[in-house]
Chains A and B, each alone.
Chain A
Amino acid sequence: MSMVIKRYIPIVILAAIAFFMAGDTLLLEPVLNDLASSGRSAVTIIGSFAVILSVVMLSRLHVRRIQRKTTVVESSVLLTCMWVTIIWGLYRFAVEGVSPAAEATVQSIFYGIVSPGDSTIYSILAFFIAAAAYRAFRARSLEATLLLAAGVLVMLGKAPIGASIWLPLVDIQNWIMLVPNMAGSRVIIMSAIIATIALYIRIIFGYERGWMGRGE
């Protein structure tokens, strides 16, 4: 009985939902379409609760780290920032009716701390990309030479200065993106989609059970 509950019922539920959603895509049946719409709403609501769950999990993780004195300063800063933002936003919403999207302090925290911090971390990539390109882009073989030439031409063609250096660079760049790149990307996308369909069919018919969390 336990095996039936653990193994077969999840597969039956999944298969039923999969056929149901496929039916919604293929058929114009108002009752079916409305039910599918409700199903999608349910998923987004569950997704919203996942945010709450992630806050709880993150808090637990960092409280544990503080207790074990591993990353006391970092974890304390993270927890303080997160909970001050949450409590202040909720307080303003509950007491004064200000929507979190329009809350001035929360916006200040976002624009003053989150946004510059995230942008800075991302922009550091420019240094690594430059250093990696300098070290690794060597014309050691025919393939590497082709990659190097395409990379340099696209980089120059995409930057505004490329047209000033040599106008046809823009056309060459366009050709690389619209012909070889497009052909290669389409092959990859189509292969990935065929593989995904095959995977979904295996999941729906119960051949693939890794998603049930037992690694089978």
Chain B
Amino acid sequence: MNGGGWGVASETKSLYTKLQEIDVRYVYLLIWIVVSIPILWPIGLPPGVISEETTRLYQYIDNLPQRSIIVMIDDTGPAAAAECHSGEIAVLYHCMMKGLRVLFYASRTDAVPFIDDAMMKVLGKTSDQPDYGKLYVNLGYIPQGEIGLAGLAANIFFKSVDAYGKDTETMNFFADLPTKTARDWSLVIYYGASNVDWVVRQVTDPYGCPTAGGVAAVLASRIYPYCWDRVIGFLTGLAGSAQYEVLVKRPGEAAAGMDAQSLGHLAIIIMIVLGNIGYFASRRKIPRGG
């Protein structure tokens, strides 16, 4: 006898119980399918509505006068870059079209290559680009996150050489800056999966230069408290990057990923709904007081 002499009730699970206990491997398989297929074969779902935070950032940059200075802080490791880097490329493209000056720096070592990558994809070259030193400067890695930014905000020549070993003090980029501090900047944009509060603390509050962001979606909820007087707009994850690509009419990797994101979100919601249907239906079957 099964159970070594003990009577074991052969319990057949109801459909509702099964709905709550689907093997996670099937969940993994579902996610894999709904994310992979649209990436390999785009299905062209509608692009959706452009969010207020993306529109505000676009309008702010679009209204800046020529040669205004935008500082881009790269805090993206390869993990966060999947969400944020496309947005950085789209914003850089917008800056290039508007003739704005862009000062890049990386606040973590593994973010350095992404600056080069953005410059290559938008400008075609990096330090040998004709406008390098006039409209674009890459300072490379500045250690110590917030302290590094505080130093740069207080003195634009905080780092005396750029990422390629060139002397920054002789560059045309900085020649006409009146204060050589963050007061000369028009906008500082943070890209990464940390928070923007340290940027607000070191640049916006003391110098009045507004902050923006291109951040991982999971971080967005921590930026809203600073909207819209400190943070004038931001890109929320891949969707925000895709929206900016649409606004600058240069669809890229982010826009291509929107089908996968839509179907991925939908699949997760369907799984949650199924689990809850099973939960409520099985609860209803339990007799009162039982």
Check: B118 CB closer than 8 A to any chain A CB.
Answer: no
A130-B31, A156-B269, A181-B221 known; A101 vs B45 contact (CB < 8 Å) = no
A126-B35, A185-B224 known; A158 vs B265 contact (CB < 8 Å) = yes
Chain B contact residues (Cβ within 8 angstroms of A): what range?
A: 35 or more
Q: Which of B65-73, B90-98, B136-144, B183-191 contacts A (4 or more CB under 8 A)?
A: B136-144
Chain A residues with Cβ below 8 Å from B31 are 126-127, 130
Check: B199 CB closer than 8 A to any chain A CB.
Answer: no
Q: Is the CB of A164 within 8 A of B48?
A: yes
Q: Is the CB of B48 within 8 A of A159?
A: yes
Query: Considering only CB atoms and an 8 Å cut-off, how many residues of chain A contact the other chain?
Result: 62
Q: Is the CB of B272 within 8 A of A134?
A: yes
Q: Is the CB of A134 within 8 A of B206?
A: no
Check: A3 CB closer than 8 A to any chain B CB.
Answer: no
Which of B35, B222, B224 has a CB less than 8 Å from the CB of A178?
B224
Interface of A (DSSP majority class):
helix
Q: Is the CB of A152 within 8 A of B272?
A: yes
Q: Is the CB of A43 within 8 A of B272?
A: no
Q: Which of A8-16, A73-81, A111-119, A199-207 contacts B (4 or more CB under 8 A)?
A: A111-119
Q: Is the CB of B272 within 8 A of A40?
A: no
Q: Is the CB of A160 within 8 A of B258?
A: yes
Which of A122, A133, A163, A182 has a CB less than 8 Å from the CB of B225?
A182
Taking the closest CB of chain B, its distance from the CB of A167, in whole angstroms, is 8
Query: Which residues of B (135-170) have their CB < 8 Å from a CB of A?
Result: 138, 140, 142-144, 147-148, 150-151, 154-155, 158, 163-165
The interface bits of chain A over 131-148 (1 if a CB of B lies within 8 angstroms of the residue's CB, else 0) are 101110111100000001
Q: Which of B9-17, B56-64, B105-113 contacts A (4 or more CB under 8 A)?
A: B105-113
Check: A37 CB closer than 8 A to any chain B CB.
Answer: yes
Which of A36, A47, A115, A155 has a CB less than 8 Å from the CB of B143?
A47
Which of A126, A178, A182 has a CB less than 8 Å from the CB of B264?
A126
Chain A residues with Cβ below 8 Å from B126 are 102
| A131 to B239 Cα, complex, angstroms | 22
Which of B27, B221, B271, B274 has a CB less than 8 Å from the CB of A185?
B221
Check: B81 CB closer than 8 A to any chain A CB.
Answer: yes
Taking the closest CB of chain A, its distance from the CB of B83, in whole angstroms, is 9
Among all A-B residue pairs, the 10 with the closest Cβ atoms:
A160-B48, A47-B143, A122-B79, A161-B262, A118-B78, A40-B151, A47-B144, A115-B78, A159-B265, A134-B271
